[in-house]
């Protein structure tokens, strides 16, 4: 068998190979060995050799065709026999390989002929890039034995999506970056990037990295970074779950000129002469969010029941960038719901009303809540009215 034959077969088996190994062997031999090891793992898992047949899984049929090819190539048999502890290469009689070299098209034609003989029409398409990606993405997944450690991360992300702290964005051609700690939705399953390996050189001279991906369904994978990026391309519904600490929220002095401002969180105190309000002046606060100027929002406070029909003073403001204002306001109101001010006043027509956006919460607690919204830890806390502080759940 010529070296070109070995190279061609190595290319066929590359779809099953893990990251390229370093050592004394040529890369083509390493890929052939890696492809054979994939077949061996199938045998270890199922207790038998991969078989042809219409009722077999597509990957089993792929392994069966490739095992036949390995058995038929003398150089491959000689290379793999020392590793063949399952006697896979002796399950079929040896057939000498013709001296003519195979190219990719010839090998594809041979696979199609194999498919016709066994009536496996799906195998006509095994060389498409989509099927290669399925082979790598699906076959590589396994149960995550440490999933209990990652489960709280998925719970937090779910809560952040519900409250608007984390935003779901389409993945575009210009936004396919993958970093440690990123969350994505791929094929309807949330994915967490738990580890990012060292740079790897591919046969095409590009740089890739091996990832450890943990899925919300309790499995994990060591997919290559570029393979994950291609998977995003194949799934039009793939989404990036953008973190609150990656530009989705901006507060106070950290607001940058090129941020898209969504509005302002404002905290105000009432200057009402209502006896209860006067007594608890330093504790009673209204928390709101506006897309305009705060001063414009409160300019007519003395005529509006929501402001207790009295002038107010602004005691704190925090700027927002890239966040839903309504969801943000609801988040504060939900967090401090147990400390909502229960007070009845009469509007200018003499009708009794109960404003709902005032809370008996110290200003320093509101400051802490904003900080925890910013760093993403707010979902781990609730407000304890008796202790007048945030406590971990």
SS (H, E, C) 144-168: CCCHHHHHHHHHHHHHHHHHCCCEE
What pLDDT score was predicted for residue 270? 92
Do 301 and 358 touch, CB atoms closer than 8 A?
A: no
Distance from the Cα of residue 18 to its chain's centroid:
22
Q: Which of 233, 56, 216, 240 is nearest to 147 (CA)?
A: 216
Query: Could you identify the residue written with the tokens 């939900």?
Result: 334
HEC states along 311-373? CEEEEEEEEEECCCHHHHHHHHHHHCHHHECCCCEECCCCCEECCCCEEECCHHHHHHHHHHH
What pLDDT score was predicted for residue 220? 92
What pLDDT score was predicted for residue 257? 43
What pLDDT score was predicted for residue 358? 92
Tally of helices (H runs) and strands (E runs) in the chain: 12, 15
Which token pair is 64? 């069966």
Task: Round to whole Å and give the CA distance between 208 and 125.
Answer: 26
Dump the DSSP string for 242-254: E-IIIII---GGG
What pLDDT score was predicted for residue 5? 52
What pLDDT score was predicted for residue 361? 93
Which token pair is 251? 């507060």
Task: Round to whole Å and give the CA distance between 275 and 279.
Answer: 6
Distance from the Cα of residue 33 to its chain's centroid:
32
Do 284 and 270 touch, CB atoms closer than 8 A?
A: yes
DSSP class of residue 127 equals T
pLDDT in tens, the chain (393 residues): 455 555 555 555 554 444 444 446 777 788 888 888 888 888 888 888 888 777 777 778 788 888 888 888 888 888 888 888 888 887 543 333 333 333 434 444 444 444 444 443 333 334 444 444 444 454 467 899 989 888 888 888 887 777 666 778 888 766 678 888 889 998 888 999 988 888 887 666 677 888 999 999 999 988 888 888 888 888 888 888 876 544 334 444 444 444 444 678 889 999 988 888 889 888 999 998 887 788 888 888 888 888 888 899 988 888 776 666 777 788 888 899 899 988 888 777 778 888 878 999 999 999 888 888 877 788 788 999 888 899 987
What pLDDT score was predicted for residue 79? 86
100: helix, strand or coil: coil
Task: Round to whole Å and give the CA distance between 129 and 147.
Answer: 31
Residues 6+ apart with CB under 8 A from 86: 40, 43, 44
Distance from the Cα of residue 201 to its chain's centroid:
25
Largest CA distance in the chain: 102
The number of beta carbons lying within 10 Å of the beta carbon of residue 6 is: 20
Q: What angle do CA 326, 330, 336 make, to 5 degrees?
A: 150
């Amino acid at each position: 068998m010529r070296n070109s034959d070995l190279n061609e077969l190595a290319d066929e088996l590359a779809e099953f190979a893990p990251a390229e190994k370093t050592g004394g062997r040529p890369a083509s031999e390493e890929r052939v060995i890696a492809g054979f090891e994939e077949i061996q793992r199938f045998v270890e898992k199922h207790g038998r050799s991969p078989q042809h047949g219409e009722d077999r899984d597509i990957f089993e049929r792929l392994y069966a065709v490739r095992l036949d090819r390995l058995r038929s190539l003398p150089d491959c048999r000689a290379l793999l026999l020392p590793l063949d502890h399952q006697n896979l290469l002796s399950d079929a009689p040896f057939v000498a390989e013709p001296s003519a070299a195979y190219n990719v098209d010839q090998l594809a034609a041979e696979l199609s002929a194999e498919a016709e003989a066994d009536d496996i029409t799906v195998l006509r398409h095994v060389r498409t890039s989509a099927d290669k990606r399925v082979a790598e993405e699906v076959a590589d997944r396994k149960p995550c034995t440490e999933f209990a450690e990652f489960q709280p991360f998925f719970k937090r992300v779910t809560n952040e999506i519900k409250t608007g702290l984390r935003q779901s964005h389409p993945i575009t051609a210009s936004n396919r970056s993958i970093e440690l700690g990123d969350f994505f939705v791929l094929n309807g399953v949330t994915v967490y990037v738990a580890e990012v390996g060292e740079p790897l050189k591919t046969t095409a001279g590009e740089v890739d990295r091996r990832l450890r991906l943990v899925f919300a369904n309790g499995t994990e994978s060591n997919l290559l970074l570029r393979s994950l990026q291609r998977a995003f391309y194949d799934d039009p519904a793939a989404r990036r779950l953008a973190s609150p600490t990656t530009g989705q929220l901006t507060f106070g002095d950290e607001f940058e000129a090129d941020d898209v401002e969504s509005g302002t969180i404002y905290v105000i105190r009432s200057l009402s002469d209502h006896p209860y309000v006067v007594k608890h002046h330093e504790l009673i606060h209204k928390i709101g969010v506006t897309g305009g100027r705060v001063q414009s929002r409160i300019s007519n406070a003395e005529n509006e029941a929501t402001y207790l029909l009295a002038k107010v003073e602004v005691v704190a403001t925090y700027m927002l960038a890239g966040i839903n204002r309504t969801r943000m306001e609801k988040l504060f109101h939900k967090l401090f719901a147990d400390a909502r001010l229960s007070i009845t006043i009469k509007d200018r027509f003499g009708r009794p009303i109960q404003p709902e956006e005032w809370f008996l919460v110290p200003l320093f607690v509101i400051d802490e809540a904003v900080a925890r919204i910013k760093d993403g830890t707010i979902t781990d806390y609730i407000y304890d009215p008796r202790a007048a502080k945030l406590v971990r759940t």
